[in-house]
């Protein structure tokens, strides 16, 4: 049976609807007004083999922070809903992902305890779109950590994200999304040896 999470979240700042199939094939149908965020979510779905549908809108006249962070929260909530009581999952996963000059590492524990360690080594200089009028900023790189913080809070998991080396902020961010996706894919997989048990000596994960 496919594990699916669906969440709708509307505030005075953002309006987000998302559907996630953890047992998908990596397809993404995204209506996202922030092009780079859409690009990251598409690559996240592809590398995690998650099917992802998203409709997102927000107060971009203020800045990108609210929409990026809230999208992370909703994605995390979708994972929590799809995994339920986490029965039979591997629970932990990790990935070392190279992308040209960049090397990223992700390690996840679906523990019920939201915690993020983020060492992205980002410049916090916005990425710019060459086609944007006047070369205006297309993505605020300082929101990446906010995305993953929101994700951990929504999903109830521990996530360590590290850039071990790299130059390009684009490559660093993309490598982190790919590494996180593959680590999550491993952690969400069902373990045939577990016999459907909850992977905790407590008897539950919450």
**Angle made by CA atoms 191, 106, 110, in degrees to the nearest 5:** 45
Summarize pLDDT for 183-194 with one digit per residue, the tens: 999 999 999 888
Summarize pLDDT for 166-185 with one digit per residue, the tens: 999 999 999 999 999 999 99
- Alpha-helical regions (H) of the chain: 35-48, 65-83, 144-155, 169-188
Fold of the domain built from segment(s) 4-188: Ribosomal Protein S5; domain 2 (3.30.230)
What's the whole-number average pLDDT of the chain? 94
Summarize pLDDT for 105-148 with one digit per residue, the tens: 999 999 999 999 999 999 999 998 755 444 445 899 999 999 99
């Amino acid at each position: 049976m496919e594990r699916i999470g669906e969440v709708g979240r509307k505030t005075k700042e953002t309006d987000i609807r998302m559907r996630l199939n953890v047992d998908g094939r990596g397809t993404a149908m995204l209506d996202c007004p922030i092009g780079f965020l859409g690009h990251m979510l598409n690559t996240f779905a592809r590398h995690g083999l998650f099917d992802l549908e998203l409709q997102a809108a927000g107060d971009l006249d203020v800045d990108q922070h609210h929409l990026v962070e809230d999208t992370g929260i909703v994605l995390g909530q979708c994972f929590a809903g799809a995994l339920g009581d986490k029965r039979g999952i591997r629970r932990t996963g990790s990935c070392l992902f190279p992308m040209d000059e960049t090397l990223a590492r992700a390690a996840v524990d679906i523990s019920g305890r939201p915690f993020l360690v983020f060492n992205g080594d980002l410049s916090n200089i916005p990425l710019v779109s060459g086609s944007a009028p006047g070369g205006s900023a297309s993505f605020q790189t300082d929101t990446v950590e906010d995305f993953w913080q929101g994700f951990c809070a929504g999903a109830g998991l521990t996530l360590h994200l590290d850039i071990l080396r790299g130059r390009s902020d684009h490559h660093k961010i993309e490598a982190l999304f790919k590494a996180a996706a593959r680590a999550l894919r491993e952690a969400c997989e069902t373990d045939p040896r577990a016999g459907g048990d909850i992977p905790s000596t407590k008897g539950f994960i919450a």
